[in-house]
Homo-oligomer: A and B are copies of this chain.
Amino acid sequence: MTQSGNPLHIENKPLRERVVDVLREAIVSGEFKPGQPLVEMEIAAQLGISRAPLREALQFLSHEGLVEVTPYRGTVVKPLTRIDIEELYSLRSVLETFALQRVIAQNNPVNVSKLRQCYEDMLAAAQTGDRKQVNNIDREFHNLLIELSQHNLLAVTWSTVSLRVRQVMALRNRINPDIVQIANNHLPIIDAIAQNDEGVAITLLQKHISSAGDLIAELWDTSPAEDGKA
């Protein structure tokens, strides 16, 4: 995904982009809660910048679906309803299925070994009980699947969906208790890919995704991560 190659490098992104990164992280990590208002002057002051680059950043985030900008009324972290979550996971399933089809069509052993490597890392982390790391590698696995599909537009679309999935997971801290089980869920999918068995691979993947989505969506309204102010 990220390859610098060059050992010497200093970040020189425009302020706007660094602001996007900071705010995105705050939202996706659950630090900023859904519904929370983002007052421009407050945040600008807090970051020690003017409102111009902040506003450009907010425009960007709004198209990523992380915030909602209402003209003359302000910006809030986008509320997350149960329907949103169902939509999120169902679209995610569609996108990943598409990626999976393309990966299988390539029939490239290198792809399989990369996925397998990822799985093994996840398993290792699971066995040491490092839940956070398992989550990270799990994300990496699905990102890898998208990346291997070699479809740029898909990757862009995915990144938006993926971000919000991550947000949902951050807000619902810890559902699945057995992290070794989580890791092992991925193995049969890889095997199916290795055997070029598209039908099985798709079935397994969709089940994998929808089970996670259903689990979260079902319980959502019971503790919808109370909205708050900074």
Contact = CB atoms under 8 A, between A and B. Distances in A.
A209 interface: no
Interface string A1-45: 000000000001110110000000000000000000000000000
A146 to B, nearest CB: 12
Nearest to A12: B71
Contact of A91 (B12, B13, B72, B154): B154
A187 B17 CA distance: 47
B13 A84 contact: no
A153 interface: yes
A94 interface: yes
Of A84, A153, A154, A157, the most chain B CB neighbours within 10 A belong to: A153
A64 interface: yes
A151 interface: yes
Interface of A: 12-14, 16-17, 52, 55-56, 59-60, 62-65, 71-72, 83-84, 87-88, 90-91, 94-95, 98, 151-154, 156-157, 160-161
